[in-house]
Amino acid sequence: MKLVVLGLSLGSSWGNGHATTFRALLKAYAARGHDVLFLERDVPWYSGDHRDLIDPDFCDLVYYPDLAALDAWRETIETADAVIVGSYVPDGVDVARFVQGSARGVTAFYDIDTPVTLAKLERGDFEYLSPDVIPGFDVYLSFTGGPTLDRIEQQYGSPAARALYCSVDESVYVPLGTQKRWDLTYLGTYSPDRQPTLETLLLEPARRCPDLQFAVAGPQYPDDIDWPSNVERIEHLPPAQHAEFYSASRMTLNVTRADMIAAGWSPSVRLFEAAACGTPILSDRWDGIDSLFVPGEEILLAATPEEAIAAICRPSTRVGAAARERVLEGHTAAHRAAQLEAHLTEAQNRKMAPAPAALSERSLQPMTNNHPLTLVAGGAGFIGSHLCAELLSRGHRVVCLDNLQTARPSNLQLLEGHPNFEFVEADIVNPLPREILYRTGQFDRVYNLACAASPPQYQADPEHTMLTCVVGTSNLLHLAEAAGARFLLTSTSEVYGDPEVHPQREDYRGWVNCTGPRACYDEGKRAAEALAFDFVRMKRAEVRVARIFNTYGPHMHPDDGRVVSNLICQALSGRDVTIYGDGMQTRSFCYVSDMVNGLIALMESDIDGLEPVNLGNPEERTVNELAQAIFALMDRPVTVTNLPLPVDDPRRRRPDISRAERLLNWRPTMPLVQGLARTFAWFAEELGEASEREVAVMPVAAE
């Protein structure tokens, strides 16, 4: 992606938290393979000796003298994939209009001061942003999350407001072995609305505790402030010295501006920087802080001098260590760069979609009840079609998305007339279609079953198989993130490869041939899991991951090459039945209705999302035993031919489902003999072979 940023400032960190944010974010963004150009207005207060970043190695930094000079960059802005305008850019409203009138790619406003910006708009102060340009940005990136995002969309008409908090460069902000010099410190530029809190939580404790040492670093503090003698003043502390400053502090203070306290969900960069250094943090209170750090465990809160003194006198390295762990899990610059990429890609997909007027009349009509909307990708496939049917029977509204590459439209024949069902033909490797994107806010659940699952099918186009697993999963995760929907990935027992551990537990890392003919599927699913779990760690989406073991039942494709369908179809056709190898390889066969119940139970569970769950039947059978059970359903002899075992075909496969039993209270209930009889009867009818003379099946109860 070619990204152009117009911001203030990157080159100078003097009294400027924007620089720290831009540096960490854009460095990590460039590390993801993107090209970045930063256009900065040349202003006197961030020039000369105040510039401490001259030639960044992660982007091109160019200064322009005035608005007219931007015209020289019009073609660059026009051809960029994305253009971001930052808050507090001089002549920001005119810059926004210039960008919106020139750029063909995604345009975004990055508000590092959201509550301050909105307060200025309420007062009619349009210093760098005005209400009329907000709808023209494809996405409004906000330093503030929570209810403020809804306000930006509903009151100001933004097409999409997304939280993009500040972050920390974890390679720079690390605990140092610095000797402790201060008991409590504060790092921040003077602000009149922050000063009363600084007075309450630092200066007054300093007066009451003359034996303790304090420090306040940052510029622009008035000369008339009465600093206690045990408070050291540091006029300017460049970013290169921040880690040393925090490491020399037994505790550091976070003070939030009044507008940000009122809005909530507005973390300052010092929170993440200090935490990354392992320094315990004492903070003022505001809504949303507990969504970032656990009070009492990862951060300490105070509102009075007494509470502050109590915290200072009991500094806890445990609190600092816990905060560092939390930041490294979800608030580094690498996490934010991934989120920025996701937000820009989402906006790109919306921009590519045709206007709503082009949608069919049916696709825009509301469905018939008030249940949340569920998307089932791969819903026309074997398991997916059963899942759609079960969800509909439970009262859900279902949108089935499938490219019909390996699925059969006949699987949906009984669902097409259902008032709560809709089918959309599309490939998740491509940008999601307009029928999906324009319903983003309605989706409550997203199931991803979209991938060819049998070796002959997924090996027929290995590139597409891998892209479906990775790019397709990414597209659906972004949809789930944008919708606030819960996401379930159907992974596979193939992630265990030809296992050396038996039965397979979820903590077994597998024995996969990453260069073999099955790698497109095996490694594709492993990559999809990694992507899903990263979304959990970054708190971008609620995720569930199911590792599905061999499943069988009606709607299997006759030519999918799976052992159950192979044996039944060959037996019904009168051909020789093929068994690969000596038939002593084992599998565990789960009937499709049991599998569907397991998937729904997992989707609706309250697990933390970082626990993959095996779903399958723990009853292990050899292929020879399976064949004999199928042959028993025939009233004529069957001839068996043995062929060599396929490359990388696992010798043993059996799930340990103790996690599913414990977390989901789930265990398969369909006996193999009865499940095979139902499957056999369905195939017999499909193949036109059903007759009492040729096929002897057990009675089939209504499902």
Identity of the residue numbered 43: V
Q: Rounded to 5 degrees, what angle do the CA atoms 412, 598, 687 make? A: 35
81-113 b/e with 16+ CB inside 10 Å = b? bbbbbbbbbeebbebbebbbebbebbbbbbbbb
What's the residue count for the chain? 703
Whole-angstrom CA distances from 23 to 166, 339, 374, 492 are 11, 16, 40, 40
Handedness of CA 203, 207, 212, 217 (dihedral sign): positive
Q: Which residue is listed with tokens 């393979």?
A: 33
Distance separating alpha carbons of residues 168 and 464, to the nearest angstrom: 37
Which pair of structure tokens corresponds to residue 373?
A: 């909307």
Strand, coil or helix: 308: helix
Strand partners, 424: 401
Q: What radius of gyration, in Å, describes the C-alpha atoms of the chain?
A: 30
**521 a catalytic residue:** yes
DSSP 695: B
Q: Which residue is listed with tokens 């001089």?
A: 90
Which pair of structure tokens corresponds to residue 656?
A: 């340990």
Burial class (CB in 10 A: 0-12, 13-18, 19+), 52: middle
How far is the first Cα of the chain from the last one, in angstroms, to the nearest whole number? 51
DSSP 521: H
148 Ramachandran zone, left/alpha/beta (phi>0; psi -120 to 50): alpha
Identity of the residue numbered 401: L
Give the list of residues 6+ apart from residue 622 with CB closer than 8 angstroms, or none. Answer: 583, 584, 585, 586
Whole-angstrom CA distances from 556 to 17, 399, 408, 626 are 58, 21, 9, 17
96 phi/psi in degrees, rounded to 5: -60, -45
> What would the DSSP string read from start to end of 144-174?
--THHHHHHHHTT--S-EEE----B-TTTS-
Q: Which of 486, 617, 610, 603 is nearest to 548 (CA)?
A: 617
Say if residues 81 and 106 touch (Cβ distance below 8 Å). yes
Which pair of structure tokens corresponds to residue 461?
A: 């186009």
Which pair of structure tokens corresponds to residue 251?
A: 């505790």
Distance separating alpha carbons of residues 525 and 530, to the nearest angstrom: 9
Say if residues 627 and 702 touch (Cβ distance below 8 Å). no
Say if residues 46 and 9 touch (Cβ distance below 8 Å). yes
136 phi/psi in degrees, rounded to 5: -80, -15
Residue tagged active-site, from 110, 140, 496, 521: 521
Whole-angstrom CA distances from 370 to 387, 415, 422 are 20, 19, 16
Do the bridges between strand 252-254 and strand 184-187 make them parallel or antiparallel, or are there none, so unpaired? parallel
Which pair of structure tokens corresponds to residue 137?
A: 């940005």
Q: Which of 178, 186, 198 is nearest to 277 (CA)?
A: 178
Q: Which residues are known to be catalytic?
A: 521
